[in-house]
Amino acid sequence: MQTEKIFDTLTKKFGNDVTPILEAAPSEPFILVKADKIYDVCLFLRDNSELDFDYMMCLTGVHQKPDLGVVYHLYSIKHKHKIVLKTFVSIDAPNVPTVERIWRSADWHEREAWDMYGINFEGHHNLIRILCPYDWEGFPLRKDYVTPEEYHGMRVPY
Amino acid sequence: MANYIKNMWDGVYTVLVGMKITWKHMFMKKVTVQYPDEMYPIPKNARNRLQLYADQCNGCNSCARICPVNCISIETLRVTPNDPENPKVLEDPENDHWLPRKLWVTKYDIDMAKCCYCSLCTTVCPSAAIQHTTDFEYSSYFKEDLLYHFTAMTPETVVSKKQMLEEHQAKEKAAKAAAAAKAAEEQAKAAATASAN
Amino acid sequence: METNIFIQLLGNNWIAYTAIAVLPLGFLLLYALVAILAELKVSAWMQDRLGPMRTGPWGILQPLAEVVKLLQKEDITPDLANKVLYNLAPYMMFTGAYAAVAVIPFSQQFVPSNINLGLFYIFAVSAIATIGVVMGGWASNNKYSLLGAMRSVAQIISYEIPAAMAILATAVLASSLNLNEINTVQDGGIFNWFIFGGPGPWFKVFVLPFTFGLCLIYMIASLAETNRTPFDIPEGESELVAGYHTEYGGMKFAMFFLGEYVNMFIVSAIMATIFFGGWQSPFGSSIMSGPVWGLFWFLAKVGTVVFFQIWLRWTLPRLRVDQLMDLGWKYLLPMSFICFFAIALWKMLI
Amino acid sequence: MAEKKTFEMEYSKVDTERMRLNVGPQHPSTHGVLRLEVELDGEIVTEVVPHMGYLHRCFEKHCEAMTYPQCIPYIDRLDYISSMNNEWPYVMGVEKLMGIEVPERVEYIRVIMAELNRIANHQIAVATFGLDAGAFTPFLYYFRDREEILAILEKASGGRLLYNYFWVGGLAADVHPTFKQECLDVIKHIRATNAEVTNLLIYNKIFIDRTANVGILPADVAINFGCSGPVLRGSGFPLDLRRAEPYSIYDRFDFNVVVGKGEVGTLGDCWDRNIVRMGEMEESCKIIEQAIAQMPDTGDVQEKLPKKIRIPKSEILSRAESPKGDLGFYIVGNGTDKPERLRCRATSFINLSVLPEISKGYMIADLILILGSIDIVLGEVDR
């Protein structure tokens, strides 16, 4: 299915909650989704037999000042089409519903996004740090992150 | 029951097949290279220890800038124009072609403990001054020994060159100031004459 | 006792007994060094490597260097280990292995202790090694060690039965439990060895599959009893790090190691004795036989079996613990019963 | 699943205490510094909790402070066993964003290099898998051959393991003159060793017993977990990016997508994942042979580039089929010479997430094998 058609299907279903944004190549066109609707949109994307996005390629946290964002790269193995979803939340209340129950691969991706950006995935069964130590403070990939001087008495910048 | 016997047969047979292979290998040519005595051939372009040919380095700092791990640190000093030594930089080593030097490289340190052997520095170097050698046996007991100082200048020369430059700069400054003062004076004079007129 | 060469030479006094006792110990230490070297070299050759080449010519001093290295290591006892058992376990293991040497007929003239219950005795004392393993595994207070020890016990217990069946079959053939006696029966060349059914008329060919089978069963069971690949699950390094001796180092580890190699020797010696005629010459009692030749033949046979064990080790992957039990109880045990039954029947017929 | 049920049936009646066992981070078979917190019921695994991050090197944070060419040495160090394959999606993404095409000769050399490195990776994967099962000898046979591959890669790039060879717009250096012949020679050796290991290890009864019916991963679960590469294909699902969305010049080659067939056990077990790797080595050999036949003998290996590589405000998820599976780099440019965001869709990371799911109910020894069959590299998991 063409990207435009996917966009049409989505706008028909969700109305104002989704905003398709077509970008010039090589950037991929994406759909901006309101954060609280992301679960419904994803569920629709996976379960609709015409869309059938059964494979989640990537879930990335981003920090595009001033907001935190989550980028979902989805892929349909059957129909061989892709789609990019984006959602942005304010850095003060970075709450995004989890899609862990839709694609299990989102589990660790979301933990990583929490680890690096502090994006709180509501409803995630085990939202703890994954790459940083469990007691690490701060969210390292935020643009305003300041590297701490010490961690348990060890100097951090070598 | 058939499965039972087949299992047994498979077990014995595949073990025997495996044993035949290992037996054959016992008499095959061995591939071990007895390292300190014989060496595995190292290609000429192998990336090992970095080497600076100080004659060729003109101190442009591009290697330090491209290094992803910041293992090169360079300090340079402008050459005094009327330096009696008349320093030169080897521009083309094959034709022995030298050019006047613009910068003294007073410090060129490579911390080989940090180096990641990516060879980015050797590609950006405009004069092929920094190059990878095929020497990989340079481990040492102390981390400090892996900090290589490549510049040939002694601290005394550096100090004297600095002094020379400072003197030169002071002289230049003084000359400039004098010139400026002179100009101002002339201007004042001119202004005075103008106003007098 | 009359057959013992030391008593013949030195008389029935304490010097002779000391010599009898000490000689196998020295021999075993020497053997262990050679076996370790063989293990290193054979494994290397099978893997297209050269193996150790630096210590001595062709690396022949490598085992010695390793022993020296182990001796120099700090003797560590973990804080939470049960100190007494922890320290005792390696020696227990070695003791069990060493005690079994007492009845091995090295040669016609030299059997340290020529008792009539040789086979039975070996089975009794070699079980002591298991106790050492369990002691070490449990006392280390390490979960890996404990798992290794539990596996080891399960393994050794299940594999002693097929091994015992195999040995008993030869006891039936020889009508004796005395190891030297068993050897003497196999007199008269290679075809009188028990792997070929022992001395008998031409129609013993019917019993050959069963004796071969028993030999194979004993081979497999003995591998399991000595914790060697493919049955090295008690110390399977990919899952249990080092199994029951995870926490051991230095001298104590060396004792475990020595125990393992001595155990290898014991099972190989039993195998050589009961299936391959022990010190008997393969060409009959007239050619190349005698006390010294006997020792030579015995050692050659043991060496071959040990080589076989090494060969298998570097060929095969490791079994899983439940598959090990499967193999022991579902395959080896029924097969050993069948073979035993057939041999007993044959013995009754002739 | 048959085996799984038996264990549960046999042991469910016995009231036992469960034991928490720490596998790793210093354990011979976790392939690095992975820590698995395992709950055991006797020897049966009831729960696996992976703890990662022991090798975390802040790759993504680093790259935000690096220029685009400077990132490549760091990318080499993600999956340090197949660096060429790691560099490829990244440089491909940057090239796409910059809108440059690389010369044809470069594409061929890249294909050959990537496939050679894929073989080297699969050799390690199969070898260490055998090692996990207790077979030491095939491990060294494979390392012997891998050495020859590394020698070729070293001659071309200068590095043995971390090449920094694929550069934006081309290659770091041209290949040496004897390159083609050496490749053909090494393929012969690879095939011979593969045949040998197939007899020695793959079809060994003990090995089959150990790996068949163990760690069964059904295809739908694998897709839901986002698995890719041999882990997904071992479940019988033929998803290979080289075939599904042919990047570079993969549409010019004739090769099969190897999938597991459940030959000796259930579809999607450890043995299947392993045999997929064996098959892929052969397919890679075929690709290399074709590429060598088609490759132009002379030509430029580096496109002319601006002195500073700048990427306009744009983004891309650039994917390529690495030996571990679908490796992607999400590159966001912001108009400067440094990326705004560089995210690595690390294949091992995603594939590892399936481990707790498929290892429940098997024995501790199987857990090690399942982990080995997933073929992770901790450099990529922890990044």
- Domain range for A41 is 3-155
Q: Mind listing the pLDDT tens digit for each residue in B119-144?
A: 888 888 888 888 888 888 888 898 88
D22 neighbourhood in chain C, CB within 8 Å: 143
A73 neighbourhood in chain D, CB within 8 Å: 317, 328, 330
- Dihedral (Cα; C29, C35, C36, C41), 10-degree rounding: 150
The DSSP bridge pattern shows strands B97-100 and A81-89 to be: unpaired
Chain C to chain D, count of Cβ pairs less than 8 Å apart? Answer: 82
B17 neighbourhood in chain D, CB within 8 Å: 199-200, 203-204
Residue D159 near chain B (CB below 8 Å): yes
Is C332 within 8 Å of C159 (Cβ atoms)?
yes
Is C132 within 8 Å of C90 (Cβ atoms)?
yes
User: How would CATH label the architecture of B52-153?
Assistant: 2-Layer Sandwich (3.30)
Summary mean pLDDT of chain B: 82
Assign D52 to helix, strand or coil: coil
CB contact (8 A) between residue A131 and residue D343: no
Q: Mind listing the pLDDT tens digit for each residue in D215-238?
A: 888 888 888 888 888 888 888 888
D136 pLDDT more than 60: yes
Predicted TM-score (pTM) above 0.95: no
Beta-bridge partner residues of A20: A31
Q: Which residues 6+ apart lie within 8 Å of B45 measured at CB?
A: B132, D155, D157, D158, D173
What distance lies between CA D91 and its chain's CA centroid? 18
Chain A neighbours, 3+ Cβ pairs < 8 A? D
- Find which of A22, A27, A63 to mutate to test the D interface (most D CBs within 10 Å of its CB): A27
The one-letter amino acid at C329: W
C331 neighbourhood in chain B, CB within 8 Å: 7-8
For residue D25, whether the previous peptide bond is cis, meaning omega lies within 30 degrees of 0, is: yes
Nearest to D74 by CA among D316, D61, D33: D61
Sign of CA dihedral C40, C99, C139, C75: negative
D16: its two tokens: 């036992």
Is C30 within 8 Å of C22 (Cβ atoms)?
no
D13 pLDDT more than 70: no
CA gap D71, D332 in Å, rounded: 14
Is B42 within 8 Å of B134 (Cβ atoms)?
yes
A86 neighbourhood in chain D, CB within 8 Å: none
CATH of the domain at A42: 3.30.460.80
B28: its two tokens: 């095959």
CB contact (8 A) between residue D204 and residue C320: no
B91 pLDDT more than 50: yes
Q: Where are the beta strands (DSSP E) in chain C?
A: none
The DSSP bridge pattern shows strands A30-33 and A81-89 to be: parallel
Residue C47 near chain B (CB below 8 Å): yes
| DSSP alpha helix (H) spans, D77-216 | 83-98, 104-132, 137-157, 179-197, 205-211
- Confidence (pLDDT) at C1: 42
Is C135 within 8 Å of C256 (Cβ atoms)?
no
D349: its two tokens: 């990371």
CA gap D24, B60 in Å, rounded: 48
Q: Residue holding tokens 């950037």?
A: A27
- Confidence (pLDDT) at D2: 44
CB contact (8 A) between residue D314 and residue A104: no
What letter would DSSP give residue C331?
A: I
Residue D80 near chain B (CB below 8 Å): no
User: B197: pLDDT confidence band, cut at 50, 70 and 90?
Assistant: low
- Within 10 angstroms of residue C157's Cβ, the number of other Cβ atoms is 12
Phi, psi of C112 (to 5 degrees): -50, -50
Residue B119 near chain D (CB below 8 Å): yes
ipTM confidence: 0.83
CA gap C20, C310 in Å, rounded: 29
HSE-up (13 A, CA, CB side) for residue A84: 17
Phi, psi of D138 (to 5 degrees): -60, -30
Q: At what angle do helices D104-132 and D364-374 cross, to 10 degrees?
A: 170
CA distance C7 to chain D (A): 48
Beta-bridge partner residues of D44: D41, D363
CA gap B108, B77 in Å, rounded: 12
Long-range pairs for C175-179 at CB < 8 Å and ≥24 separation? C176/C116, C177/C116, C177/C117, C177/C118, C177/C119, C177/C120, C178/C114, C178/C115, C178/C116, C178/C117, C178/C118, C179/C103, C179/C104, C179/C105, C179/C111, C179/C118, C179/C119, C179/C122, C179/C273, C179/C274, C179/C278
Long-range pairs for A121-126 at CB < 8 Å and ≥24 separation? A121/A96, A121/A97, A122/A95, A122/A96, A122/A97, A122/A98, A123/A97, A123/A98, A124/A98, A124/A100, A125/A100
Exposure string for A121-147, b = 16+ CB within 10 A, e = fewer: beebeebebbbbeeeeeebbbbeeeee
Q: How far are the Cα atoms of A125, C25, D20, D316 from residue D46, in angstroms, in the given order?
A: 19, 47, 10, 41
Alpha-carbon Rg for chain A in angstroms: 17
- Which of C104-113, C258-267, D28-37, D133-142 shows the lowest per-residue confidence on average (mean pLDDT)? C104-113
- Within 10 angstroms of residue C206's Cβ, the number of other Cβ atoms is 12
- The domain total for chain A is 1
Beta-bridge partner residues of D36: D23, D50
Is A32 within 8 Å of A84 (Cβ atoms)?
no
CA gap C217, B39 in Å, rounded: 47
CA distance D297 to chain A (A): 31
Q: How far are the Cα atoms of C147, D156, D168, D307, D309 from residue B128, in angstroms, in the given order?
A: 61, 19, 21, 18, 22
CA gap D115, D348 in Å, rounded: 19
* pLDDT mean values, one per 10 residues, chain A (158 residues): 75 76 73 82 82 84 85 84 85 85 86 87 86 84 83 77
- Confidence (pLDDT) at B107: 81
| Maximal CA-CA distance, chain A | 56
CA gap D119, D145 in Å, rounded: 10
Assign C41 to helix, strand or coil: helix
| Touching chains A and C? (3+ Cβ pairs < 8 A) | no
Comparing CB atoms, the residue among A55, A104, A140 nearest residue D58 is A140
Assign D341 to helix, strand or coil: strand
Comparing CB atoms, the residue among D53, D314, D317 nearest residue A58 is D317
Q: Residue holding tokens 């090990």?
A: C324
Quick one: three-class SS letters along chain B?
A: CHHHHHHHHHHHHHHHHHHHHHHHHHCCCCCCCCCCCCCCCCCCCCCCCEEECCCCCCCCCHHHHHCCCCCEEEEEEECCCCCCCCCEEEEECCCCEEEECCEEEEEEEEECCCCCCCCHHHHHCCCCCEEECCCCCCCCCCHHHHEEECCCCCHHHHHHHHHHHHHHHHHHHHHHHHHHHHHHHHHHHHHHHHHHC
Burial tier of A56 (Cβ tally within 10 Å: 0-12, 13-18, 19+): buried
Phi, psi of C210 (to 5 degrees): -75, -40
> DSSP string covering C124-172, please?
HHHTHHHHHHHHHHHHTT-HHHHHHHHHHHHHHHHHHHHHHHHHHHHHH
Residue C117 near chain B (CB below 8 Å): no
CB contact (8 A) between residue D154 and residue B123: no
Q: Which structural domains are found in chain D, ordered by start?
A: 49-382 (1.10.645.10)
D6 pLDDT more than 70: no
User: Cα–Cα–Cα angle for C300, C306, C312, nearest 5°?
Assistant: 135
Burial tier of D17 (Cβ tally within 10 Å: 0-12, 13-18, 19+): exposed
- Within 10 angstroms of residue D352's Cβ, the number of other Cβ atoms is 24
Give the mean model confidence (pLDDT) for residues B62-79.
Answer: 84
- Confidence (pLDDT) at C6: 67
Q: Residue holding tokens 């490796």?
A: D327
B67 pLDDT more than 80: yes
Nearest to C236 by CA among B152, D338, D76, D135: D135
| Tens-binned pLDDT, residue by residue, of chain C (350 aa) | 445 666 667 677 777 777 777 777 888 888 888 888 888 888 888 888 888 888 888 888 888 888 888 888 888 888 888 888 888 888 888 888 888 887 888 777 777 777 788 788 888 887 788 888 888 888 888 888 888 888 888 888 888 888 888 888 888 888 888 887 787 777 777 777 777 777 777 777 777 888 888 888 888 888 888 888 788 877 777 777 777 888 887 888 888 888 888 888 888 888 888 888 777 777 776 777 677 787 888 888 888 888 888 888 888 888 888 888 888 888 888 888 888 888 888 878 77
A50: its two tokens: 């015409």
Residue B22 near chain C (CB below 8 Å): yes
CA gap D124, D120 in Å, rounded: 6
CA gap A44, A52 in Å, rounded: 9
Comparing CB atoms, the residue among C151, C232, C319 nearest residue D206 is C319
- Find which of D33, D101, D330 to mutate to test the A interface (most A CBs within 10 Å of its CB): D330
D49 pLDDT more than 50: yes
- Confidence (pLDDT) at D1: 40
